[in-house]
Amino acid sequence: QVQLDQSGPRLVKPSETLSLTCAISGDNVSSDGVTWNWIRQSPSRGLEWLGWTYYRSKWYSDYAVSVRSRIIFDADTIKNQFSLHLKSVTPGDTAVYFCARGGPNTPVSVFQFWGQGILVTVSS
């Protein structure tokens, strides 16, 4: 059974970088046929897909337009985890952040396994 365990700070100051990590068990971050996604949820934006990263002989990432200029994903094959780094945060980035896996028994853009979610508050 795949499990995703999220970690990271719950409070980030405005203009700083929000970094979260999703540790994977029951699968491998470089598995073929899967994608590793970040999704956030807030009352104002609802559920918002932030982007994905995946390995197909090399690493690929794609990001939502709303955050593309501020966001980077990376993956650590040794620790079997992937991370989100969102720069220059504002209070508008306050949300519950989820990591999620797409595929392989579903389409890669369908999310069957999710992390527990972390509420990140942006405030001074």
By the 10 Å C-beta count (0-12 exposed, 13-18 middle, 19+ buried), 86 is classed as buried
Single out the residue of 19, 42, 49, 74 in contact with other proteins (rule: CB under 8 A): 49
Single out the residue of 2, 15, 110, 121 in contact with other proteins (rule: CB under 8 A): 110
Q: Using the 8-state DSSP alphabet, how is residue 122 labeled?
A: E
Q: How far is the CB of 121 from other proteins (least distance, A)?
A: 16
Single out the residue of 64, 74, 80, 104 in contact with other proteins (rule: CB under 8 A): 64
Phi and psi torsions of 91, nearest 5° = -55, -25
Give the separation between CA 123 and CA 30, rounded to whole angstroms: 35
* Interface contacts to other proteins, rule CB under 8 A: 46-49, 51-52, 62, 64-65, 98, 100, 105-107, 109-112, 114-117
